Amino acid sequence: MPSLKSFKVRIASVKSTRKITKAMQLVAAAKLRRAQEAAINARPYAERMQRVLTNLGTAAKGNPGAPRLLSGTGKSDVHLVVVATGDRGLCGGFNTNIVKLARQTITRLLSEKKTVKILCVGRKGREQLRRDFGRHIIDTIELAGVKQVGFAQAQMISARVLSMFEEGAFDVCTIIYSQFKSVIAQVPTALRLIPADIPDNADARGAVYSYEPDENEILEDLLPRNVTTQILRALIENAASFYGSQMTAMDNATRNAGDVIDKLTLVYNRTRQAVITKELIEIISGAEAL
């Protein structure tokens, strides 16, 4: 039977674990609020961009002279999959869910005999993908030192992707990230970056615009920016999802720690009472013997 002291030590250790998970939960909640704000603030830009692109893109799609970022290279042999995950763990299923979708996507592409290249954004994605798809991973971008993801990071990643596209290193680019629905729901999503994913039904409700310079030149300028914007959106949604997931996970952990403490305390008290009873019996039987 474990001694009373060992129970005490275990209870104390679970209690300090609970303190840590509680603190992490509170921090995640605060950071989640900021991340959500960032997501809302980033919306107007993305929406405008999308609208103008839809307007322009639908008309230009069929043109033979359309920019390659819009029409693609005409092939889909080489796929670049950008897997955006977090750099840290302790966040429930956040990283695992993204990687799961990435795995499915990559396996499907491979079974279609496509060449797959993987660009990992965030350390955790690489760690989980390395074993199965190690030779497909071309590089990892870590954002661990970055306090709040922003435009600068998005631009760095998009510059990387675009220069690879210019060199003809791939035909289609997809980014996999976690879409933030709510604190308890984050949906891993695959979004096609190149060629640009423009919905077909351009709602021509707006007025007819005049363009300066002409449409094609604007598209040439806008499409790379759109890639950056989409990557930024993915990063921001990811950040919000990460903290949402972490908050939920830490909430669960705190509650579990509480349960464990309750159980241990019960056993501790029983043992303590058993010890007292035993001592009493010893004293009484000692007195009777006299």
Q: Give the binding site for other proteins (CB under 8 A).
A: 38, 41-42, 44-46, 48-49, 52, 150-151, 154-155, 206-213, 217-218, 221-222, 225, 228-229, 232
Listed residue (142, 91, 148) closest to 120, CA to CA:
142
Nearer to other proteins, 45 or 197 (CB): 45
Nearer to other proteins, 44 or 74 (CB): 44
- Rounded-to-integer distance, Cα 69 and Cα 62, Å: 13
Minimal distance in Å, beta carbon 58 to other proteins? 15
**Of the listed 91, 116, 173, 232, which one is catalytic?**
91
Give the tokens for residue 266.
Answer: 């019960």
The secondary structure of 21-76 as a DSSP string is: HHHHHHHHHHHHHHHHHHHHHTHHHHHHHHHHHHHHHHHHTT-TTS-HHHH--S--
Nearer to other proteins, 144 or 152 (CB): 152
Nearer to other proteins, 38 or 109 (CB): 38
Contact 86, 235 (CB under 8 A): no
Listed residue (43, 262, 20, 238) closest to 148, CA to CA:
238
First to last CA, the chain: 31
Minimal distance in Å, beta carbon 67 to other proteins? 13
91 is catalytic: yes
Minimal distance in Å, beta carbon 233 to other proteins? 9
Contact 129, 114 (CB under 8 A): no
- Rounded-to-integer distance, Cα 70 and Cα 17, Å: 52
Minimal distance in Å, beta carbon 225 to other proteins? 7
Q: Supply the residues annotated as catalytic.
A: 91
